[in-house]
Amino acid sequence: MSDRTVFFISDGTGITAETFGNAILAQFDFKPRRVRLPFVDTPDKAHQAVRQINHTAELEGKKPLVFTTLVDRQAVNILQEGCKGMLMDMFGTFVQPLEQELSIKSHHRVGRFSDVSKSREYHDRIEAINYSLAHDDGQSNRDLTGADVILVGVSRSGKTPTSLYLAMQHGLKAANYPLIPEDFDRRQLPPALVPHKKKLFGLTIAPERLSEIRSERRPGSRYADLQNCRMEVSDAEAMMRRAGIRWLSTTTKSIEEIATTILQEVRPERLSY
């Protein structure tokens, strides 16, 4: 742990400030202390932030790093004038040049989430989360016509977290459906999926990794046994190949990376924007 502190300051949730700051910090091999200051939406709170930053600067004898996505220029000015940190001001840096290029003024409005109860997009996102939950792990065949994408793969190949991520971040109705030994015996896709072949996307995984993951849940079981995992994975891949389903391996991929690839491949028409 370094003796340097990083502040993330925002008038809203601070999600953008953290994404921005963390992406930049990831370029450096050091582990600062992190402090989030969300909802800094009055001059009072901006002054309070300045006091906190300057107190830290004194204690540590080093400039704190301050990532801000403050929209309100008055708040930014308070920070600029008073604070002893190194200010990285995302809006100040990019918004003004954009105003010139676009020949329109920015409106300095705070937050992208205001009044969500009236937003169609937000409503659709919540609907998508509910849909994906109801169609997790083949729980329901009903209404698969409504799915934007249906993930298939053996148990623990990453279908559930990926479906939820696609719903939560991209507003996609993402169902998921397990491929199980009975399907391999019949050498056929689960019948419920056949009418929806265009929407299917397969996830596979290295048998060694699968066995590791399954062992955490059911150590010593046939389910987790490496030999069994090898057979299931090879059967599942053969089935996806025969059926002409696009697929990828999740072995070393994060749900974000899996989701991005699926979006590129499936290109569902109804994207969140």
Cite the annotated binding site for ADP by residue number. 153-160
Q: With contact defined as beta carbons under 8 Å apart, do 167 and 125 qualify?
A: yes
> Closest CB to its own copies among 169 and 188?
169
Extract long-range pairs of 83-92: CB within 8 Å, 24+ residues apart.
83/49, 83/50, 83/53, 83/54, 84/53, 84/54, 84/57, 85/7, 85/53, 85/54, 85/56, 85/57, 88/21, 88/24, 90/16, 90/17, 90/20
Residue stretches of the annotated binding site: 153-160
CA angle in degrees (0–180, nearest 5) for 22-203-137: 100
Shortest Cβ distance from residue 64 to its own copies (Å)? 10
Residue 6's contacts (CB-CB under 8 Å, 6 or more residues apart) are: 21, 25, 32, 33, 34, 35, 64, 65, 66, 67
Q: Which two tokens stand for residue 98?
A: 């954009």
> Closest CB to its own copies among 152 and 250?
250
Residues near its own copies (CB under 8 A):
4, 12-16, 19-20, 22-24, 26-30, 34, 36, 38-39, 63, 65, 69, 71, 86, 88, 90-91, 93-95, 97-99, 101-102, 104, 106-109, 112-113, 115-117, 122, 126, 129-130, 133, 136, 160-161, 164-165, 168, 209, 251-257, 259-260, 263-264, 273
Shortest Cβ distance from residue 209 to its own copies (Å)? 6
Exposure letters 171-206 (e unless 16+ CB within 10 A, then b) = bbbbbbbbbeeebbeeeebbeebeebeebbbbbbbe
> Closest CB to its own copies among 102 and 198?
102
Shortest Cβ distance from residue 204 to its own copies (Å)? 14
> Closest CB to its own copies among 188 and 249?
249
> Closest CB to its own copies among 212 and 243?
212
Map 13-77 to HEC letters: CCHHHHHHHHHHHCCCCCCCEEEEECCCCCHHHHHHHHHHHHHHHHHHCCCCEEEECCCCHHHHH
> Closest CB to its own copies among 182 and 269?
269
Shortest Cβ distance from residue 146 to its own copies (Å)? 14
In the chain the first and final C-alpha atoms are separated, in Å, by: 40
Shortest Cβ distance from residue 140 to its own copies (Å)? 15
Shortest Cβ distance from residue 121 to its own copies (Å)? 11
